[in-house]
Structure 1
Amino acid sequence: MTTSSILGQFDLCADKAAFPDLDNGYYYPVDARIHLFADATRWAMVAELLGYNPRGANLIDVMHRFGNCLTRGEPGFGDFLERVDNMEEIDPDGAEVYVGGVPVVVRGTALRVDAAASTPLEDVFRLLAEGNKELLLADETELRADLPADLPVLLRLDAWHQPQDLWDTVPSTHETFRLIAEVLNSSDPARYRPTLPPNTHWSHWPDAGTL
């Protein structure tokens, strides 16, 4: 386990378009989180990109997982977790707008949302996420689906600076992921000392989801 080997895996996945991309044309971004795990010989990073996918007709938490100890699959995309149980009730006509007056059911929990009828669904889900982040993002079972159960968690990031274009700026050349690799290699979360301002809020990605 070295910093360069961690960054090499990130770059390889980026080259295959399997690295977290907030500018994805298929998803309207809603929220995001990164989890870092490591011990003396093992490392893993799990990144969640929660977004509304009109073609998938749901709010989906897209899991990306990387590491030298994955228990299934290859580094890159993991599970695609649909979050809304009653899409046919909140958007009965498939018009991608909120019907109004209907709770959004997430994992069996009915959540009220302060949105008028005909509000675009991406805006409804962004409002919903403001007070229900933990319900919408991965629980521990989902998070560790591809990881050894005993792998210690080091750090969780709810905001970070993301490259605007992963073709022009590969992860190994970007401050955020170089720092993440240092944290993982050293098992020292104090190594994460960013100088760039966070830009993972959905408002920084106006073209995402508009493919």
Structure 2
Amino acid sequence: MTFNETEILEQLDLAFNGEPSKYYPTGQPEDIKYNFFLDLEHGYCETAGNRIHLYADSTRWIVVFEKSGYQNRGTSAEIELNYIGNCIDYPIDKYPERNYITNANNIILIDPTEFERIENKDGEEMETFELIGQNIKEIKIRDNIVQFDNNYQNYEKLGIDIRDYDNPKNLIGFGDFIRYLHETNPALISATEEEIRKHIPKDIPKLMTIDEFHFVSAYDKTNPPSRQETYQLIAKILTTKNVTNWKPTQKPNNSWKNWESGHL
């Protein structure tokens, strides 16, 4: 089964609008299907890093959106992977009353238990909310023990604004730390190739990873992917398998510094 640029852009538009595609499992009428798109402005996720991975051969294609950040409602740092393509093994959560089918997979970087351990215990109520204790030396990220830098000036040098209210000791926020890692050691909070391939065919060739690109708000529904240069170029790369077609004319703006997130 061959594919073309039009089909790729149509599938991206469906995800952009949260509509499941024809490639989803049929399931039962009561099943719920989620089709997520990259969102750098989510109120519940303080975004740190993001990338786009492209895979294709003569009959199959996949776009994988990767985003890392601090989930302020779940008190965890996570990677979110969103899969769009024609050969995805969609994650399914099965329950007696219905199944939940999605194109998203989440990978825990720092779990709630570790955040509870490192959270500041001294001072007024807000001083103990999502701030890392002054005496914390190490933090566990996945299975790695990482040295913690508690010097707020090193964060501000990277453009990370430390909370200026109810924070007299200039303690580092949970989200600040994830952004600091993205700026200083991005591999530490990035998905591995094995993790990305969990829901796609093991033998599909990887074409490229795009680290910097022009992003348009996922909430601007007047400007779907099919009308954006970024995704038009991606569709061309997937159909031609030629990565030299990545020649964007628009300035990259996908850094977390350009988008407000995690504010709810």
* Aligned residues of 1:113 and 1:128 also touching (Cα < 8 A): no
> Which residue of the other structure, out of 163, 176, 181, is the alignment partner of 2:230?
176
Which residue in 1 is equivalent to 2:65? 47
Instruction: Structure 2 unaligned segments of length 5 or more: list them.
Output: 19-34, 93-100, 122-127, 152-169
In structure 1, the gaps of 5 or more residues are: none
**Does residue 110 in structure 1 map to residue 145 in structure 2?**
yes
Question: Are 2:179 and 1:126 aligned?
Answer: yes
- The aligned counterpart of 2:79 is 61
1:92 Cα deviation after fit: 5.9
Residue 189 of structure 2 aligns with which residue?
A: 136
Please say if residues 89 and 102 of structure 1, whose CA atoms lie closer than 8 Å, have aligned partners that are also in contact. no
Indicate the residue corresponding to 1:78 in structure 2: 104
Structure 2 residue aligned with 1:192, among 235, 246, 253? 246
On the 8 A contact 2:181/2:189 being kept in 1, the answer is no
Q: Is the 8 A contact 1:96 1:120 kept in 2?
A: yes
**Contact 1:30–1:202 (8 Å) recurs in 2:** yes
Distance change in 2, residues 1:52/1:152 (3 Å): same
* Equivalent in 21, 37, 51 of residue 55 of structure 2: 37
Structure 2 match to 1:202: 256
What is the Cα-based RMSD across aligned positions, in Å? 1.9
- Specify the SS of the correspondent of 2:261: coil
The number of equivalent residue pairs is 210
Q: Is the CA contact 2:51–2:67 (under 8 Å) kept in the aligned structure 1?
A: yes
Q: Percent identity?
A: 31
- Residue of structure 2 in register with 1:96 after alignment: 130
- Distance in 2 (CA, whole Å) between partners of 1:196 and 1:138 is 26
After superposing the two structures, state which structure 1 stretch, 80-89 or 152-161, moved more: 80-89
Of structures 1 and 2, the one scoring higher in RCO (CA 8 A, sep 6+) is: 1
Q: 1:152 is matched with which residue: 205, 211, 225?
A: 205
Distance 1:185 1:179 in 2: 10
TM-score normalised to the size of structure 2? 0.74
Between stretches 143-152 and 16-25, larger displacement belongs to: 16-25
Say yes or no: does 1:25 pair with 2:53: no
SS state at 1:168 partner = coil
**1:44-103: per-residue Cα shift (whole Å, max 9, x none)?**
111111111110101111110111111234996321111014222222667111113232
Indicate if the aligned counterparts of 1:103 and 1:112 stay in contact, CA closer than 8 A: yes
The answer as to whether partners of 2:108 and 2:142 remain within 8 angstroms in 1 is no
Distance 2:65 2:57 in 1: 18
Higher mean displacement: 61-70 or 84-93: 84-93
User: How far, CA to CA, are the matches of 2:64 and 2:52 in structure 1?
Assistant: 6
Larger radius of gyration: 2
Classify the secondary structure of the residue corresponding to 1:145.
helix
What SS does structure 2 have at the residue aligned with 1:199?
coil
Name segments (4+ residues, structure 1) moved above 3 Å: 73-77
Asked if structure 1 preserves the Cα contact closer than 8 Å seen for 2:75 and 2:115, the reply is yes
Report the TM-score when normalising by structure 1. 0.92
| Greater Cα offset, 74-83 or 168-177 | 74-83
Q: 1:3 to 1:151 in 2, by over 3 A?
A: same
CA–CA distance in structure 1, aligned partners of residues 60 and 74 of structure 2: 34
Deviation at 1:113, TM superposition (A): 2.7
